[in-house]
Amino acid sequence: MADHDRIEGAAKNMGGKIKEAAGRVTGDEKLKAEGRADQVEGKVQNAVGGVKDALKGK
């Protein structure tokens, strides 16, 4: 089973992509920046989950 951090990270990354796209469509620079930040946060969380999986021997 996938690590909880990897699932949450992937979800946050996807949410960030959607938020960034919405900001691009509406011209809202703040929303675009929040979306990009969410994507980075999601990628980091996903990487942490990958490290945890590696340490568990998955």
Q: pLDDT digits over 10-40, tens only? A: 999 999 999 999 999 999 999 999 999 999 9
Q: What is the mean pLDDT of residues 1-12?
A: 86
Q: Between 4 and 26, whose confidence is greater?
A: 26
Q: Between 15 and 52, whose confidence is greater?
A: 15
**pLDDT at res. 2:** 63
Q: What is the mean pLDDT of residues 33-53?
A: 94
Among 25, 14, 35, residue whose Cα is nearest residue 6:
14
